[in-house]
Structure 1
């Protein structure tokens, strides 16, 4: 009987844990990492690219090393390795938390409580909510659901399949650093450059897989592929543009346009211009699409990891038999 892949099994268990329980309520390792990274930023900050590169290396490197050490210690015992992978997968995934936050904002908008929705929005994305009306809040939520489907679910699963626990931990560390210092504020324009570029590279495969699965799982596959092909390259982010365009086309809505971050106004290109304006009801549709994408990504990444492991074991056994 074939031996199950402990990494693939662990990824599936961790995904189910996130689906059922959401994020750990206390002592979340990602929150602890964020606090340590913030303290290191205060120590290392200089308005230079080199300082930011050192900062990114000192934050992400230990996360990868800790993940690799944990996997090495459990490598010879399938059950501990699967359980360790499950625990880290649960820690780094954020699909349920994303769905819950988006659902709370959608409920407020549908109840006509725009002020409540404005108060909740910073828990989901970093935009300035005060100048946003109900439709603009709904658009911000749909865009955030699309982007975070890649960042908080699919990208982590891709790197888990590639690098096991080290891949999971490293991806979450890089993504967290980008959220902290990767934006173009005066303080972080140079210091955060390395973290932002590292996140772009790490997020590239997950973003493309997210867009492809959104097109396949959404209600309008041709629309998603069309918007991806024509509009994604116009977005300032090489990864967010891909997933937002695909979600926009799949849902038949129009994303992009003017937005405000930290007092800075940005005029982003419209994604899927033929679509209609986003309404509060589209938040639920985006969340359901995100869930389908996550499940498909789990099946694909865990299945690929299991198949690769089986092929490796078969090749090793064949090589041993020839001796």
Structure 2
């Protein structure tokens, strides 16, 4: 049974638009100023100032307003251009470019790696917070490199693959809603005294939204990382021990694919966390592994584009 002509056109719109968006990101990356995600963050912050209470219900309302608003905006925009295939492709491309961040992720990781290769550990410590929230002061060069590799692994799922999965499932509304949920989690989904209750809904929704993208990221790391057996073994033995149901999958699979150990004791804003070691058979992370992680991230991201576009086209033919 085949889909009607309009449905098949929608599948092609996503295929062309997602590809254009990903390759636009590869060519130009994120703008230094005026990024749409930053605009959403400011809007979400304004809503938070109105709604904040130390209460889960208020936090759920904040999540619904912000994430629901992003999805509704995407749906209205898609509806406005639905009669023009060219405009629909352009909208999908723009939305994809706005929500993915693979090029910027690689750029920031390589900046830290370059500082480490030059022996400038202090500069690397200054740059690390652009990638992750851990405290860099007590880290040596290899410790900083490990933080970069872990961040590259997790953000490959959050900044690229997860967005493509939801774009394939729900078009422009799915793209914008996923990025909104992920941004809200970064803003309020942590366990500080202010957000332990208020950010609960954002954190749980991010876990749900990130679930399929994390598993696809892990599978593609297995297939493209060069060490499939090690990646599968690390995923199966260590992922569930990680406190995050999604980060554990991608970090364990990247660890196995790269042949390194990740996890262990971390420090976030003075709070020490003792996390399980991922891929204990691997060697410690070295500075050269930053570039290897970035290249693996790129392979996974491009493979995810192929998988999501192919799945959308095949589904459209049913």
Instruction: Assess same fold via TM > 0.5.
Output: yes
Among residues 53, 60, 72, which one is paired with 1:53 in the alignment? 60
**Separation of aligned partners in 1, 2:48 and 2:137:** 29
Of residues 1-10 and 291-300 in structure 1, the stretch that sits farther from structure 2 once superposed is 1-10
Segments of 5+ residues of structure 1 without an aligned counterpart are: 313-323
Among residues 7, 11, 14, which one is paired with 2:18 in the alignment? 11
Alignment of 1:164-203 (within 5 A): 164-203=171-210
**Separation of aligned partners in 2, 1:25 and 1:110:** 25
The yes-or-no answer on 1:204 pairing with 2:211 is yes
The yes-or-no answer on 1:260 pairing with 2:264 is no
Among residues 273, 277, 285, which one is paired with 1:278 in the alignment? 285
Structure 1 match to 2:248: 241
SS of the equivalent of 1:5 reads helix
Structure 2 match to 1:316: none
Of residues 72-81 and 118-127 in structure 1, the stretch that sits farther from structure 2 once superposed is 72-81
CA deviation digits over 1:246-297, x for unaligned, max 9? 0000000000011111221111000000111000100000000000000100
The yes-or-no answer on 1:90 pairing with 2:58 is no
SS of the equivalent of 2:15 reads helix
**Separation of aligned partners in 1, 2:126 and 2:93:** 34
SS of the equivalent of 1:256 reads strand
RMSD: 1.3
1:161 CA displacement: 0.3
Structure 1 match to 2:161: 154
**Separation of aligned partners in 2, 1:25 and 1:157:** 23
1:305 CA displacement: 1.4
1:33 CA displacement: 0.5
Normalising to structure 2: TM-score of the pair? 0.96
**Separation of aligned partners in 2, 1:113 and 1:26:** 27
Segments of 5+ residues of structure 2 without an aligned counterpart are: none
8 Å contact 1:114–1:133 — kept in the other structure? Answer: yes
Structure 2 match to 1:78: 85
SS of the equivalent of 2:175 reads helix
Among residues 196, 206, 224, which one is paired with 2:231 in the alignment? 224
Normalising to structure 1: TM-score of the pair? 0.94
List structure 1 runs of 4+ shifted beyond 6 angstroms: none
1:43 CA displacement: 2.0
Structure 2 match to 1:21: 28
CA deviation digits over 1:74-102, x for unaligned, max 9? 12221110000000100000000000000
8 Å contact 1:24–1:91 — kept in the other structure? Answer: no
